[in-house]
């Protein structure tokens, strides 16, 4: 519950919204219907798609269709419905605790860095890097995106094994997010971590 609330403060949509868009991306990856398909270029997949109102953003049934499991949870549904309220309260809290400096660094700068790190997974990790698995999209393993996002840049691995908690599968593919999940599992904060059912293949092709 706490982690979901903190994640909502990244201001990238509520839990159901984020899950629905992510699932749509996997279903239509780099094809017609992908909300941030890399086939339209770096700018579109990085930020351009956020500046428009494509059909899926206008569809009020999208979350019900693609994230019904998330909406069934009362707490996650509440977070999704009032994400802007939580963000507004966090702004007031930061200003109350530390004034403008806290609001600038823990608010504005934090959000900008988080946005671009996340968007690089959509853009750079579909255009630059190497491919270990022959997925039906342009996903790549991009080391510098993985460095910025604690392992999310091993994106070709993620598309090959989308339910796996572990993204870094090959030698040198450090996955800090997975290490954190393993610690949480030992503490009882996480459970049922899934892993790939087969060993990763050797690198098949390099994009750059």
Show pLDDT as tens, one digit a residue, over the chain (208 residues). Answer: 788 898 899 988 899 999 999 999 999 999 998 999 999 999 999 999 888 766 556 566 888 999 999 999 999 999 999 988 998 999 999 999 999 999 999 999 999 999 999 999 999 999 999 999 999 999 999 999 999 999 999 999 999 999 999 999 999 999 999 999 999 999 998 889 999 876 544 434 444 3
Instruction: Tell whether 172 and 82 lie within a shared domain.
Output: no
* pLDDT for position 206: 42
Look up residue 189 and give its DSSP letter.
S
- Final residue in a domain of this structure, among 77, 103, 122: 122
Q: Which residues contact 159 (CB under 8 A, 6 or more apart)?
A: 26, 29, 133, 135, 137, 139
The pair of structure tokens assigned to 81 is: 């419905």
Instruction: Tell whether 56 and 141 lie within a shared domain.
Output: no
Overall domain count for the chain: 2
The pair of structure tokens assigned to 184 is: 């949480």
Quote the CA–CA distance of 178 and 176 in Å, as a whole number.
5
- Final residue in a domain of this structure, among 98, 122, 146: 122
Quote the CA–CA distance of 196 and 204 in Å, as a whole number.
18
* pLDDT for position 68: 95
* pLDDT for position 37: 92
The pair of structure tokens assigned to 148 is: 């910025």
Rg (CA), the chain: 18
Quote the CA–CA distance of 29 and 48 in Å, as a whole number.
16
Instruction: Tell whether 9 and 95 lie within a shared domain.
Output: yes
Residue with tokens 């050797």: 202
CA-to-CA separations, 156 to 143, 148, 185, 203, in angstroms, rounded: 11, 16, 25, 11
CA-to-CA separations, 142 to 41, 42, 59, 151, 172, in angstroms, rounded: 17, 14, 33, 10, 12
Instruction: Tell whether 109 and 146 lie within a shared domain.
Output: no
* pLDDT for position 44: 92
Instruction: Tell whether 91 and 190 lie within a shared domain.
Output: no
The pair of structure tokens assigned to 74 is: 């009362």
Spatial contact of 58 and 52, defined as CB atoms under 8 Å apart? no
Quote the CA–CA distance of 27 and 65 in Å, as a whole number.
13
Quote the CA–CA distance of 159 and 204 in Å, as a whole number.
15
* pLDDT for position 3: 86
Quote the CA–CA distance of 96 and 102 in Å, as a whole number.
9
* pLDDT for position 61: 84
Parent domain of 47: 1-122
- Final residue in a domain of this structure, among 96, 122, 148: 122
* pLDDT for position 2: 84
Residue with tokens 């398909």: 37
């Amino acid at each position: 519950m706490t982690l979901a609330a903190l994640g909502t403060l990244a201001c990238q949509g509520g839990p159901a919204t984020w899950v629905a868009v992510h699932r749509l991306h996997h279903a239509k990856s780099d094809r017609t219907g992908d909300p941030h398909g890399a086939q339209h270029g770096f700018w579109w997949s990085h930020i351009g798609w956020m500046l428009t109102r494509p059909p899926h953003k206008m569809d009020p049934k999208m979350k019900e269709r693609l994230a019904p499991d998330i909406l069934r949870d009362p707490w996650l549904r509440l977070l999704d419905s009032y994400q802007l309220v939580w963000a507004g309260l966090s702004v007031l809290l930061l200003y109350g605790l530390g004034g403008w400096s806290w609001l600038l660094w823990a608010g504005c700068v934090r959000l900008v860095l988080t946005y671009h790190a996340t968007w690089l997974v959509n853009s750079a990790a579909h255009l630059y890097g190497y491919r270990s698995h022959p997925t039906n999209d342009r996903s790549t393993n991009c080391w510098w995106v993985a460095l910025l996002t604690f392992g999310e840049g091993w994106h070709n691995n993620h598309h090959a094994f989308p339910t796996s908690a572990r993204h870094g599968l090959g030698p040198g593919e450090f996955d800090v997010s997975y290490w954190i999940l393993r610690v949480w599992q030992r503490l009882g904060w996480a459970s049922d971590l899934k892993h790939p059912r087969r060993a990763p293949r050797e690198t098949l092709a390099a994009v750059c």
